[in-house]
């Protein structure tokens, strides 16, 4: 979009942060890091996901939900707070409430990246421990993850440290509410890729976040398994569904989880087959080939 003088206007950036209200100091530090971004101010919406929102600075909008809608549900409410599909802004940042933007130029880097590449739909930031600077392997959204400092095209993104062009939501829809937690990013990523968008991992866009294990959540193993099945049922060509899920079954067994974890996993796997997963829109075979050329065929 151009201004009346004919020069392109800076892309408008907003941010969505969901909170359970239990990390007020970390939330305030995150908001301060967003407020310090170079360029035009970033508009912020904080969504209290089934809880009151702690005190926030003037100018930060808040939405308090009467119940916890899960991560995708809460983020979808944040998107709509910026108008239908986030249409009041061009770019939305999604940031974990215990994270912290490491640098002042992240919003400007996002503006430049999206302005330079009209097909760029999503950017995945690098997550680094604030004390050690280390990036966990699981936070690099590609199979070849040994060098977290290498930026690249990827096939998915990190849920609490990313930027999305709002036209993506207008075209392919938001995050899948029913997932509640786990794999909702990959569901959106696959739909975006199928629509012709591209996704970048950028090592120079950094969110500081304490090192954690995803299994700290009590529902982790059940949700991961159930949503993996839903992901396949919703998005993959029929021929690939059993292949994808068979590979993940073998990988899960190879990791030798504890007996309670394995029991929860199989319970979730069964639930994924026996419950409604939302609309099925299988990706095109050319998207399967795109994913394969990017290094992650949709069978793993």
Residue ranges of the chain whose pLDDT lies below 70: 1-7, 214-218
In this structure, the strands spanning 91-95 and 13-19 are parallel
- Spell out the domain ranges in the chain: 13-208, 218-282
Residue 78 to residue 47: CA distance in whole angstroms? 6
In the chain, pLDDT over 70 holds for what percent of residues?
96
Query: What pLDDT score does 187 carry?
Result: 98
Q: Kindly report, residue by residue over 137-146, the tens digit of the pLDDT.
A: 999 999 999 9
Query: What pLDDT score does 212 carry?
Result: 77
Please provide the CATH number assigned to the domain covering 13-208. Answer: 3.90.550.10
Instruction: Centre a 10 Å sphere on the Cβ of residue 220 and count the other Cβ atoms it contains.
Output: 18
In Å, how far are 92, 167, 237, 286 from 197, measured between CA atoms? 16, 10, 19, 13
Quick one: angle between helices 220-235 and 184-194, nearest 10? 20
Query: What pLDDT score does 213 carry?
Result: 72
Judge contact between 15 and 92, C-beta under 8 A.
yes
State phi, psi for 209 to the nearest 5 degrees.
Answer: -155, 135
Count how many Cα atoms sit within 13 Å of the Cα of residue 90 in the half-sphere of its side chain: 17
Q: Kindly report, residue by residue over 43-81, the tens digit of the pLDDT.
A: 999 999 999 999 999 999 999 999 999 999 999 999 999
In Å, how far are 11, 98, 299 from 129, measured between CA atoms? 29, 12, 31
Query: What pLDDT score does 215 carry?
Result: 55
Query: What pLDDT score does 272 carry?
Result: 98
The contacts of residue 102 (CB under 8 Å, 6+ apart) are 33, 128, 206, 207, 208
Q: Locate 20 and state its tokens.
A: 């359970």
In this structure, the strands spanning 198-208 and 152-154 are antiparallel
Judge contact between 160 and 96, C-beta under 8 A.
yes
């Amino acid at each position: 979009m151009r201004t009346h003088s004919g020069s392109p206007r800076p892309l408008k950036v907003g941010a969505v942060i969901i909170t359970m209200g239990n990390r007020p100091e970390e939330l305030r530090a995150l908001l301060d890091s967003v407020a310090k971004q170079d360029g035009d101010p970033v508009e912020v919406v904080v969504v209290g996901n089934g809880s009151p929102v702690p005190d926030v600075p003037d100018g930060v909008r808040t939405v308090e939900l009467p119940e916890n809608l899960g991560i995708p549900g809460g983020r979808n409410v944040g998107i709509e707070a910026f108008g239908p599909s986030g249409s009041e802004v061009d770019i939305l940042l999604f940031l974990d409430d215990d994270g912290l933007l490491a640098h002042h130029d992240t919003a400007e880097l996002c503006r430049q990246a999206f302005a330079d590449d009209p097909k760029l739909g999503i950017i995945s930031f690098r997550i680094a421990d604030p004390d050690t600077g280390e990036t966990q392997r699981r936070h690099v959204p590609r199979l070849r993850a040994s060098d977290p400092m290498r930026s690249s095209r990827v096939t998915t993104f990190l849920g609490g440290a990313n930027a999305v062009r709002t036209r993506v939501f207008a075209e392919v829809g938001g995050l899948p509410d029913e997932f509640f937690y786990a794999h909702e990013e990959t569901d959106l990523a696959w739909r975006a890729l199928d629509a012709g968008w591209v996704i970048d991992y950028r090592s120079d866009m950094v969110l500081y976040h304490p090192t954690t294990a995803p299994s700290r959540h009590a529902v982790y193993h059940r949700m991961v398994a159930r949503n993996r099945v839903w992901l396949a049922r919703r998005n993959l060509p029929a021929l690939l569904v059993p292949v994808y899920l068979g590979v993940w079954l073998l990988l899960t067994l190879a990791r030798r989880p504890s007996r309670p974890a394995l029991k929860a996993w199989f319970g979730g796997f069964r639930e994924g087959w026996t419950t409604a997963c939302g609309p099925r829109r299988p990706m095109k075979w050319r998207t399967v080939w795109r994913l394969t050329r990017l290094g992650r065929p949709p069978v793993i």
